Amino acid sequence: MVALSVVGGVQIHAYTRVPLAASVYAVLAGWSAVLITLVLRREALPGWALAVDVAVTAAGVLVLPLAVSNPLFDTLANPYLEPLTVSVAVALALVSGSPWATAAGCAALAAANVIGQRSLLDRGADFASMANTIGWQVGAAVCCLVFIRRLRQVAHHLTEATQQVITARERLAAQRAHTEERTRHFREQIRRYRALHDGPLRILTAIAGPGPAAHPDPVVRRQCAVSVDVLRGAAPDDPAGNLTDLSLALLEAGGASAALGLRVEYHFANLPDSLPNDVVDALCQASAEALSNVTAHAGTTRARLTALAVGDAVTVAVVDQGGGFDQDVTEFGYGIRHSIVERMAEVNGKATVDSHVGEGTRIDLRWPA
């Protein structure tokens, strides 16, 4: 369209200052070449290039009317630089995506257009052509601005969705790896426990028991019984079982009762790697007192000690299936009241006792309360 306007202007001899007109077209063509080079060589067009583009185009719109006569405008309906002003406004909207930058660029181009054709305004000429040029420029810029902003929103949502998919896949892969690791760990525990059960545990149990293989020295038998309980507790059969400061301390706490003939079955699961020392001490001392009560009052040689973590809480349960007692009739003794309940309360924990005649007793320790 610019080329056609130049040809039309030459045919009607509308150029009054040929060198000036040629200079305007040369500057616009040169800057267009520079702009195209920047677009091809850079991933993103810099802001200064957009500003220069608007300034060069506005300057051309201001200067070119000085090199042509008014009949050119009347004949060609002001199309001399209309394609350039529209394309610059469109590029500004698409590249910047900014309403303020687009509005400022369109205002500068419109002002240059009005000032460049002020002679027409002075003569009271028809404003339709000028309004058409500015309207196309602003309308095209607004449409492109809406389009690019919507496109950027879609790209943003697509990026977020892609990142969510990547995160979900990474989480799933980590869960699968963790599950596989736990499975391997569990299988290895089973293999070791079988080897332990078929070897040392069987021998130690026979030595500690009443059978023909029992050791004649009662001290040795008691020590073997303690060792059997410790080994059973140190080889948990639960895939979430682990040895921590608390589990090792509980094994040690049950040693005294095991030495007196109580067989303690240990189960540990999901215990935290570390707990405050006073909490570990309270749980172990309270558990030892509970096991001691089983030995002294329950009338059974077996007890079960379970320690696990649920959420942020750690619970230890000592359960026996001995004679039990009626809680409505029998008051708690000194050991339960002071060595268990009060000891747990001192570390912000809680102890509960549940017992029924002929059904055994259960003592639950929980920290924090």
CA distance 26 to 73: 21
Q: Which pLDDT belongs to residue 345?
A: 93
Confidence check: pLDDT of 173 > 90: no
pLDDT tens across 21-57, in order?
A: 888 888 888 888 888 888 888 777 788 888 888 888 8
At how many degrees (to 10) do helices 245-253 and 218-234 cross? 160
Over residues 70-98, mean pLDDT? 68
> Per the domain annotation, does 224 fall within a domain?
no
Residue 65: inside a domain, yes or no?
Answer: yes
Pick from 159, 192, 225: which residue ends a domain? 159
Residue 46 lies inside a defined structural domain of this protein: yes
DSSP state of 305: E
Q: How far is CA 48 from CA 53, 129, 208, in A?
A: 8, 31, 90
CA distance 256 to 84: 96
Does residue 192 fall inside a structural domain?
no
Instruction: Assess if residue 355 is contained within a domain.
Output: yes
Are 6 and 151 part of one and the same domain? yes
My answer on whether 149 and 280 are in the same domain is no
How high is the pLDDT of residue 362? 93
pLDDT in tens, 184-216: 765 665 666 566 556 566 666 667 666 666 667
Residue 182 inside a domain? The answer is no
Report the distance separating Cα 100 and Cα 106, nearest Å. 10
Domain check: are 254 and 126 in the same one? no
Q: What is the mean pLDDT of residues 257-272?
A: 80
Structurally, the chain folds into a number of domains equal to 2
Residues 9 and 155 in one domain: yes
Q: Cα dihedral sign for 173, 175, 180, 181?
A: positive
Residues facing residue 313 across a β-bridge: 310
Alpha helices in the chain (DSSP H): 2-11, 18-41, 47-63, 70-76, 82-96, 99-116, 118-122, 128-196, 202-208, 218-234, 245-253, 255-259, 277-293, 334, 343-346
Q: What CATH number is given to the structural domain containing 264?
A: 3.30.565.10
Picking from 16, 113, 26, 22, the residue whose alpha carbon sits closest to that of residue 66 is: 16
Contact 354, 362 (CB under 8 A): yes
DSSP of 224-256: HHHHHHHHHHHS--STT----HHHHHHHHHTHH
pTM: 0.43
If pLDDT is split at 50, 70 and 90, which confidence band does 320 have?
very high
Q: Please, which residues bridge with residue 304 across strands?
A: 265, 319
Residues 154 and 285 in one domain: no
Same domain, 150 and 260: no
Q: What tens digit of pLDDT does each residue of 281-301 get?
A: 999 999 999 998 898 888 888
SS3 call for 320: strand
User: Could you tell me which residues come within 8 angstroms of residue 327 by beta carbon, excluding any fewer than 6 positions away?
Assistant: 353, 354, 355
Domain boundary among 159, 183, 208: 159
Burial label, 293 (beta-carbon count in 10 A; 0-12, 13-18, 19+): buried
pLDDT at 369 over 50: yes
Same domain, residue pair 140 and 266: no
Full domain range(s) for residue 72:
2-159
Mean pLDDT on 141-161? 84
Q: Would residue 57 count as lying in a domain?
A: yes
| Residue 203 resides in a domain | no
Name the domain boundary from 159, 188, 217: 159
